[in-house]
């Protein structure tokens, strides 16, 4: 029987399934959350700013018919700053008490140049936010994913194709620029997503690790949502000039959402828009610089030391067996 074509506007019924999305008060994270809730899922909406969390929550209640009603999607909020390991531990502890997770979308990140180079803990801010925080969170929630055979999706970027090698100096002690910090972080995110899948398979953990990128998705081509996406007229004007090579953040969320919920997708795959910068979700190939297992092993060890988090592979491998 031929497989039904995937329609991002008509997702499979997700009633009874639970997801956590990082950085879901803005952009891709918000629209991914909205799409999951529309399909009937319960989503833990996370962010580091309480006011923005409240605004995003209110937007979903306005825009999604019947949200919170019986047999409909629902949403709850959770404070989480992926640049702060204390925040990650606290949020993970709360999320663990709320039951199994069918999916974890590791979306939060810094794209634009930060005001400061370092976190409170002393790590380079972009790398900590985009990479280390997600490595730690995924490890903390691994058993919640394993009990239901869940999936984690790491948010990649076309920027990873701009780098010709993996991170050698993650803290960028030498040669720092905001763009280099971002490119390096997205190479590392993809490397870790692929390395996680190798390690999960080897340990017999029933969790898939997938990487997805949103193409070139910009706010000026995105629907206005009060408290979530309110671009200026100038931003609208400039972004609309890029129509042939860009898409909305709503459409940019299509690939990560499919990577998170499509039962036909396997761990270790890489997904993005069909035409690279825009289009329907499509399986593609990650940048050459991200596919080296030796680099994956080195970066994994670095993240373990930097975060002091060791993924509980043995416990996760037993988690689903105990549930049965």
Of 318, 18, 299, the residue nearest 135 (C-alpha): 299
Give the integer Cα–Cα distance in Å for 210 and 154: 6
Task: For residue 254, indicate whether it is catalytic.
Answer: no
Q: Kindly state the tokens that stand for 154.
A: 């790491």
The strand pair at 247-248 and 217-218 is best described as parallel
Give the integer Cα–Cα distance in Å for 66 and 106: 27
Residue 263: how many CB atoms within 10 A of its CB?
7
Give the integer Cα–Cα distance in Å for 127 and 201: 26
Classified as helix, coil or strand, 77 is strand
The strand pair at 151-155 and 217-218 is best described as unpaired
201, HSE (Cβ side, Cα atoms, 13 Å): 12
DSSP at 173: -
Give me the phi and psi of 272, to 5 degrees please: -165, 180
**Which residues does 250 contact at the CB level (< 8 Å), separation at least 6?**
31, 222, 223
DSSP at 222: S
Q: Kindly state the tokens that stand for 232.
A: 């200026």
Give the integer Cα–Cα distance in Å for 103 and 151: 5
The strand pair at 270-273 and 247-248 is best described as unpaired
The catalytic residue among 19, 30, 182, 216 is 182
Burial class of residue 208 (count of CB atoms within 10 Å of its CB; 0-12, 13-18, 19+): buried
Residues annotated catalytic, as ranges: 182
């Amino acid at each position: 029987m031929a497989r039904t074509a995937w329609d991002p506007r008509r997702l499979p019924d997700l009633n009874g399934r639970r997801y956590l999305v990082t950085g879901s008060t803005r952009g891709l994270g918000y629209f991914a959350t909205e799409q999951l809730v529309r399909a009937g899922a319960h989503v833990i909406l996370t962010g580091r700013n309480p006011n923005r969390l409240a605004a995003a929550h209110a937007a979903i209640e306005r825009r999604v018919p019947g949200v919170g009603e019986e047999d409909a999607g629902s949403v709850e909020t959770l404070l989480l700053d992926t640049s702060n390991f204390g925040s990650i531990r606290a949020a993970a502890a709360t999320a663990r008490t709320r039951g199994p997770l069918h999916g974890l979308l590791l979306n939060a990140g810094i794209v634009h140049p930060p005001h400061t180079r370092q976190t409170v803990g002393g790590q380079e801010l972009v790398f900590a936010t985009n990479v280390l925080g997600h490595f730690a969170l995924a490890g903390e929630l691994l058993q919640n994913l394993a009990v239901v055979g869940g999936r984690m999706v790491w948010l990649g970027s076309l920027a990873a194709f701009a780098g010709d090698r993996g991170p050698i100096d993650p803290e960028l002690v030498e040669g720092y620029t905001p763009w280099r910090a971002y490119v390096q972080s997205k190479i590392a995110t993809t490397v870790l997503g692929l390395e996680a899948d190798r390690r999960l398979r080897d340990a017999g953990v029933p969790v898939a690790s997938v990487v997805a990128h949103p193409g070139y998705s910009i706010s000026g081509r995105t629907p206005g949502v009060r408290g979530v996406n309110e671009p200026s007229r100038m931003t609208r004007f400039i972004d609309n000039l890029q129509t042939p090579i860009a898409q909305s953040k709503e459409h940019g969320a299509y690939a990560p959402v499919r990577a998170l919920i499509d039962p036909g997708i396997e761990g270790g795959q890489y997904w993005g828009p069909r035409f690279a910068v825009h289009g329907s979700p499509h399986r593609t190939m990650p940048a050459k610089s991200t596919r080296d297992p030796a680099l994956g092993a080195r970066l994994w060890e670095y993240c373990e030391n930097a975060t002091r988090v060791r993924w509980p592979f043995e416990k996760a491998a037993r988690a689903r067996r105990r549930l049965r």
